Structure 1
Amino acid sequence: MKNRFAIIVAGGSGSRMGASAPKQFLPIGELPILMHTIRRFRSYDADLEIIVVLPAEQIPVWEALCRQYRFTEPVEVVAGGQTRFQSVRNGLAHIRSDDGLVAVHDGVRPFVTTEIIRNSYETAERTGSAVTCVALKDSARLLHADGSSQAVDRTRYRLVQTPQTFQLPLFRQAFRADEQVFFTDCASVVEHAGFPITLIEGSYDNLKITTPDDLAFAEQKLRTPA
């Protein structure tokens, strides 16, 4: 089995949450969101090398939270950049292996399952990439510049989630590019470098916690027996 790594990007400010603390540090089930996320990856592989990317000014806060909650999961903490692209590249620079697989995941997606993580690594090992996604539930329309819109076939579209997992050599090559405004996720960077993207099935429960409603849903989900 190839070496496996995970870069967990946690650069949120909490502005949409209306909270004073960054959203990744808000507690659900009596534990900060980011800690739940780390434990999901640790449950997949106890020896997985996990790199957590945080804004430099938030690292002391994270260290204090680890002491407060007695959180001792072994992770390497790296200072991020001004954008997600820069933060992922900073995390990538701390992976010392030239070969293997790397998964990139949002720090505020704490409900990713072991099955999704495993499928992500196994698919990327076979095909080069594995990008988690879900189908659209609702009807969709394309909005035009003049304000008009038209119906589109929703079966041809997917909502992209994380983890997004890639073979390390192609991922390093992709992230040598100059940053572009259309780099909205790792898949867009890898696609820009000329590599194909393989989609895998995600889960509607694998939500990204960004609003108070998301936070309330997360609390309820933790309280509800599986």
Structure 2
Amino acid sequence: MITRFAIIVAGGSGSRMGIDSPKQFLPIGGLPILMHTIRRFRSYSADLQIILVLPAVQIPVWEELCRQYQFDEPVVIVPGGATRFQSVRNGLAQIQTTDGLVAVHDGVRPFVTIDIIRHGFETAERLGSAVTCVALKDSVRLVEPDGRSRAVERVNYRLIQTPQTFQLALFKTAFQTAEQPFFTDCASVVEHAGFPITLIDGSYDNIKITTPEDLEISEQKLRLKQI
């Protein structure tokens, strides 16, 4: 079986939550968000090699939380960088092979399903990449430089989520480039390197917890046993 890795990036500060504590450490359903996320990937496969990327100053806090919650899922912890690009590259440097697959996921997306994770790995194995996305529900307008706006066809656009899964060889090649300001996610890095991007269906439930409203929605999901 081909070797599979997951790089879980958790570098949030909690600023949009209006708090000082990192958002990935906030509890939902009695457990920090990040622990829920890691358990989702562990539920996919006991053999999955999980790399957790955290800001260096947050690593002791995470280790204390693991003791407090008796959380003993096997993960490799790596200090992150100043940007997401640098953090992913730091996690990628822990993988010593180019033969395999790697999924990159936001630490604050705890509602990812096993089916989405599996679909990402299976698609990337066949096609090189698998980037999770959902269609837009609302109408969309494009704002021009002069301030005017115009309607665009929402059917032509997608909202990008994680996981974003890739063949390791092409992913490592892509991350050899210099960082660019338009690198907003892994897909933009891989595309810049000249590799095609394959989109796969995500889920509207696969939310990224960034605001107090997201936290409230997450608690409601847990009460409905959706995680």
Q: Shorter-chain TM-score: what band?
A: over 0.9
Residue 98 of structure 1: CA displacement?
2.1
d(CA) in 2 for partners of 1:97, 1:178: 21
Find the aligned partners of 1:19 and 1:216 in 2 and give their Cα distance. Answer: 15
Give the CA deviation at 1:147: 1.3
CA distance in 1, matches of 2:214, 2:169: 36
Deviation at 1:2, TM superposition (A): 1.0
Deviations 1:92-140 (A, max 9, x none): 0001222100000000000000000000000000000000000000000
Query: Deviations for 1:15-69, whole angstroms, at most 9, x for unmatched residues?
Result: 0011121000000000000000000000000111000000000000000000000
Match of 2:213 in 1: 213
Identity of aligned residues (%): 77
Q: 1:117 is matched by which residue type in structure 2?
A: I
Alignment of 1:1-150 (within 5 A): 1-150=1-150
Q: How many Å separate the matches in 1 of 2:165 and 2:20?
A: 32
- Unpaired segments ≥5 residues, structure 2: none
Q: Deviations over 1:135-179 (max 9, x none)?
A: 000000000111110000000000000000000000000000000
Distance 1:27 1:54 in 2: 17
Letter in 2 for 1:70: Q
Letter of the structure 2 residue corresponding to residue 56 of structure 1: A
TM-score, normalised to structure 1, is 0.99
In the TM superposition, residue 225 of structure 1 has moved relative to its aligned partner by: 3.5
Structure 1: gaps spanning 5 or more residues: none
- In 2, the alpha carbon distance for the partners of 1:17 and 1:24 equals 11
Q: Calculate the aligned-residue CA RMSD, in Å.
A: 0.6
Q: Find runs of 4+ consecutive structure 1 residues off by over 3 angstroms.
A: none
CA distance in 2 between partners of 1:47 and 1:30 (Å): 27
1:177 counterpart residue number: 177
Return the offset for 1:87.
Answer: 0.1
- Partners of 1:76 and 1:41 in 2: how far apart? 14
Question: Deviation of residue 189 (structure 1)?
Answer: 0.2
Partner Cα separation in structure 1 for residue 156 and residue 183 of structure 2 = 21
Higher mean Cα deviation, 194-203 or 96-105? 96-105
